[in-house]
Amino acid sequence: MDTLVVERWQRDREEFIQHARSLGAVVLERNAFEDPVQQQKDIQWLIDQKVEVLVIIPNDRASLSDVVRKAKDRGILVISYDRLIQNADIDIYISFDNEKVGSLMAQSIVQAVPVGNVLIINGGSNDFNSYMINRGMKEVLRPFLSSGTLKVIDEIWPPEWRNEESRAAVEKVLAEGIVPDGIIAANDFLAASVISALSAKRLAGKVFVTGQDAELAACQRIVEGTQLMTVYKPIKDLAKTAAETAVYVGSGEELRFSQTIFNELKDVPYIALDPILVTRENLESTVIADGFHSYEDVFRETLD
């Protein structure tokens, strides 16, 4: 694992281990604490433990070529979990349709702000998902930008999924006397720092902010009206697919897939699960109905 800091990875870990064990697998785990060099050592350690399958959430999309080569030389199945490992001989990329994640964010913003100015805070540039999210986002924004009804006042690419840059970007435009009509934040973790910077100027709830991951705090912000939307990605489905692929394909079954994605070295089989737009209107029929969060937790502020 890259990290357990962002809430969703705690669920991925839980769900994956539970499901893999239910299929009879023994699971060894390592957490790189967002350090790409540590992650290479972690993977080498797992190879030395003679694992048959490696399920990797890369911290850095482009620094695992050599260690993946060593794994493949030992016949180990390598699964790129939720983030694409580039320039490496991986066997499969199991994730969500990350371009759709970006288009859902942009659709929400253009619906709320058909005319006005937008600040874009991309995901970590060390994560290939961030480029996929950006591609889907720009696809939707393009006509509004070329017609001039929407203007991007600033766009930042933080080096990692950390929130220092996103807070600073909001404070910078506000200090210039500009209040964005909308802010596209690439996940809920970044949205939290954006909304806290807005609330320092009593602007929380007055600027439409996007996110993804359906973190509990984000769902609560959607209820209170300070966050416009999030994208729910059913982690249990992702973890189950990865666990089943690891056990079944790891023990020789045929890998079935319907699309591939080029990772700078090869066309990698790509299983892309469907992300779900979540707004105030459908919180109950999505994250709550799925048991991802409880009604009490999400609507905590409104319950007397």
- Least separation, in Å, of the C-beta of 2 and ligand GAL? 7
- The correct pick among 34, 97, 127, 165 for binding ligand GAL (CB under 6 A) is 127
- Least separation, in Å, of the C-beta of 287 and ligand GAL? 14
- The correct pick among 1, 6, 25, 109 for binding ligand GAL (CB under 6 A) is 6
- Least separation, in Å, of the C-beta of 97 and ligand GAL? 11
Number of residues counted as binding ligand GAL (CB under 6 A): 10
> Is residue 12 a contact residue for ligand GAL (CB under 6 A)?
no
> Is residue 82 a contact residue for ligand GAL (CB under 6 A)?
yes
> Is residue 83 a contact residue for ligand GAL (CB under 6 A)?
yes
- The correct pick among 213, 218, 228, 272 for binding ligand GAL (CB under 6 A) is 213
- Least separation, in Å, of the C-beta of 146 and ligand GAL? 28
- Between strands 53-56 and 150-156, the pairing is unpaired
Q: Which is nearer to ligand GAL, 97 or 213 (CB)?
A: 213
> Is residue 161 a contact residue for ligand GAL (CB under 6 A)?
yes
CA distance linking residue 12 with residue 153, whole number of Å: 35
- Between strands 77-81 and 53-56, the pairing is parallel
> Is residue 61 a contact residue for ligand GAL (CB under 6 A)?
no
Burial of 262 (0-12, 13-18, 19+ CB in 10 A): exposed
Burial of 2 (0-12, 13-18, 19+ CB in 10 A): buried
Q: Which is nearer to ligand GAL, 86 or 212 (CB)?
A: 212
The residue behind tokens 């911290």 is 59
Alpha helices (runs of H) in the chain, residue ranges in sequence order: 7-22, 36-48, 65-73, 98-112, 128-146, 164-175, 188-199, 216-224, 235-244, 295-298
Q: Which is nearer to ligand GAL, 8 or 240 (CB)?
A: 8
CA distance linking residue 283 with residue 285, whole number of Å: 6
> Which residues inside 242-301 make contact with ligand GAL, applying CB under 6 A?
none
How far from the centroid of its chain's Cα atoms is residue 2's Cα?
12
- Least separation, in Å, of the C-beta of 187 and ligand GAL? 4
- Least separation, in Å, of the C-beta of 273 and ligand GAL? 12
> Is residue 84 a contact residue for ligand GAL (CB under 6 A)?
no
- Least separation, in Å, of the C-beta of 101 and ligand GAL? 7
- To 10 degrees, the CA torsion angle through 52, 35, 84, 108? 140
CA distance linking residue 153 with residue 85, whole number of Å: 32
Nearest-CB residue to ligand GAL?
187
How far from the centroid of its chain's Cα atoms is residue 15's Cα?
16
> Is residue 187 a contact residue for ligand GAL (CB under 6 A)?
yes
Amino acid letter for position 92? I
In a 3-state reduction of DSSP, which class is residue 5? coil
- The correct pick among 40, 103, 122, 129 for binding ligand GAL (CB under 6 A) is 129
Question: Residues interacting with ligand GAL, by CB under 6 A?
Answer: 6, 8, 82-83, 127, 129, 161, 187, 212-213
